[in-house]
């Protein structure tokens, strides 16, 4: 399993030491973003963005716990963070497929001004909440020292 | 004037006939049925079918006292030609089939963006507008397998009917989509007008 992430070293991933404090900060930030994504006073766009941010922070937790981080100097680091989730924390490919579709929705709204539909914002929140549960459970089972 | 890739490769009638039969290799159809399903005049289609059968792209068989035509799947270029059609003019077909399980929940579905305008490049995504009561996750699961078939990324844009109606007149994104060419998958231009005007 770690072989796959190792193969991406220098291509899209850097090696780092797993860091409990770093993980603690990211988990707290993801929790705040998920709470914000539920605020009905915000626009659909901003609720989507908050939930998407949580997804990214959780993917960073997943990589850090395995001793990696994405190389932000390389294009496509969001894609790398999402697509390594099956290897980093054993996320089901069907869930990764949805997360990747959300990533594309975000690109289209950020760079082309596409409207974010309610259904996309609702799914982004549901996916972020599920990922938080999944990552916490993975840490508890595999790296309780980092929680 | 930009010409779309499929129309540059094949004359219109040929493209529609081959698109119909090669993408449904299990179906053998009578000339009149082919004319109806492709929207082409029955007289012209007979000549087209004869030519395509002569070169071995189609198979002509007798069913009762009728001549029926089907794809000749044993032909040397059947696989390649079907693949080209699937990625070009057969694109709508592939999407319609993928969306079929969710059709009762969808008021409308259409392709918009560069593919609908016939201005797609190698890296262009297929933008698909879905209007109805479908979950985003369900839409992604239905359309995801099409990406491998079409060799392009497929991006669903999913709105409920009321959300679409509310925003159609004021949101610049939707105004732009409404003003530009579309390839309808479920419903038609009239249904869309009705929804926007509702």
Identify the residue with better confidence: B13 or B28. B28
pLDDT given at position B85: 84
- Going by pLDDT thresholds of 50, 70 and 90, the confidence category of residue B1 is very low
Lowest mean pLDDT of A85-99, B41-55, B116-130, name the range.
B116-130
Q: Are residues B47 and B125 in the same domain?
A: no
Mark which of B63, B87, B111 sits at the end of a domain: B87
Q: Are residues B118 and B168 in the same domain?
A: yes
Q: What are chain A's domains? A: 2-146 (1.20.120.330)
Q: Are residues B20 and B102 in the same domain?
A: no
Q: What is the CATH number of the domain that holds B15?
A: 1.10.10.10
SS (H, E, C) B176-194: HHHHCCCEEEECCHHHHHH
Distance from CA of A22 to the nearest CA of B (A): 31
Q: Above 60 in pLDDT, residue B2?
A: no
B174 contacts A115? CB cut-off 8 A: yes
Residues of B with CB under 8 A from a CB of A: 125, 134-137, 139-141, 144, 153, 155-160, 163, 167, 171-174
pLDDT in tens, B167-193: 999 999 999 999 999 989 999 999 999
How many Cα atoms sit within 13 Å of A5 on the Cβ side? 25
Q: Above 60 in pLDDT, residue A1?
A: no
Over chain A, what is the mean pLDDT?
A: 94
Residue B193 burial (C-beta neighbours within 10 Å; 0-12, 13-18, 19+):
exposed
Q: Are residues B66 and B129 in the same domain?
A: no
Q: Are residues B148 and B168 in the same domain?
A: yes
Q: Are residues B98 and B118 in the same domain?
A: yes
Q: What is the CATH number of the domain that holds B134?
A: 3.30.460.10
The arithmetic mean of pLDDT across residues A25-39, rounded, is 98
Q: Are residues B61 and B117 in the same domain?
A: no
User: Closest by alpha carbon to A23, among A78, A51, A64?
Assistant: A64
Q: Are residues B114 and B186 in the same domain?
A: yes
Say what the ipTM of the complex is.
Answer: 0.88
Structural domain boundaries, residue B98: 91-197
Distance from CA of B108 to the nearest CA of A (A): 15
Identity of the residue in A98, A115, A117 whose CB atom sits nearest the CB atom of B137: A98
Q: Are residues B28 and B121 in the same domain?
A: no
Q: Are residues B49 and B111 in the same domain?
A: no
Mark which of B60, B87, B114 sits at the end of a domain: B87
Q: Are residues B100 and B193 in the same domain?
A: yes
Closest residue in chain A to residue B176, using alpha carbons only: A114
A115 contacts B173? CB cut-off 8 A: yes
pLDDT given at position A41: 95
A104 contacts B158? CB cut-off 8 A: no
pLDDT given at position A95: 97
Q: Are residues B95 and B79 in the same domain?
A: no
The count of structural domains within chain B is: 2
Identity of the residue in B136, B144, B153 whose CB atom sits nearest the CB atom of A120: B136
Q: Are A62 and A89 in contact (CB under 8 A)?
A: yes
pLDDT in tens, B15-63: 889 988 998 888 899 999 999 888 788 888 999 999 999 999 999 999 9
Q: Are B14 and B40 in contact (CB under 8 A)?
A: no
């Amino acid at each position: 399993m770690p072989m796959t992430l190792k193969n991406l070293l220098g291509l899209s991933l850097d090696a780092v030491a797993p860091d409990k404090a770093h993980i603690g900060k990211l988990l707290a930030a993801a929790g705040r973003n998920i709470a914000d994504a539920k605020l009905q006073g915000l626009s659909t766009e901003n609720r989507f963005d908050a939930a998407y941010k949580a997804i990214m922070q959780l993917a960073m937790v997943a990589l850090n716990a395995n001793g990696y981080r994405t190389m932000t100097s390389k294009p496509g680091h969001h894609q790398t963070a999402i697509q390594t989730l099956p290897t980093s924390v054993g996320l089901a490919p069907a869930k990764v497929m949805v997360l990747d579709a959300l990533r594309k929705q975000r690109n289209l709204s950020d760079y082309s001004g596409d409207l974010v539909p309610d259904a996309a914002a609702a799914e982004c929140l549901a996916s972020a909440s599920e990922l938080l549960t999944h990552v916490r459970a993975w840490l508890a089972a595999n790296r309780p020292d980092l929680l | 004037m930009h010409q779309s890739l499929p129309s540059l490769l094949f004359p219109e009638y040929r493209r529609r006939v081959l698109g119909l039969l090669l993408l449904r290799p299990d179906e053998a159809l009578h000339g009149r049925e082919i004319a109806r399903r492709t929207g082409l005049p029955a007289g012209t289609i007979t000549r087209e079918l004869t030519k395509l059968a002569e070169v071995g792209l189609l198979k002509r068989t007798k069913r009762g006292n009728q001549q029926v035509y089907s794809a000749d799947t044993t032909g040397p270029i059947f696989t390649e030609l079907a693949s080209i059609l699937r990625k070009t003019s057969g694109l709508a077909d592939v999407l319609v089939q993928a969306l079929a399980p969710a059709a009762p929940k969808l008021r409308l579905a259409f392709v918009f963006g560069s593919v609908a305008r016939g201005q797609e490049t190698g890296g262009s995504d297929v933008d698909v507008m879905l209007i109805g009561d479908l979950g985003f996750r369900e839409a992604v699961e239905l359309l995801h397998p099409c990406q491998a078939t079409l060799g392009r990324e497929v991006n669903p844009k999913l709105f409920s009917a009321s959300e679409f109606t509310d925003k159609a007149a004021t949101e610049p994104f939707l105004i732009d989509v409404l003003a530009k060419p579309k390839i309808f998958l479920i419903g038609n231009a009239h249904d869309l007008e009705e929804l926007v005007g509702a």
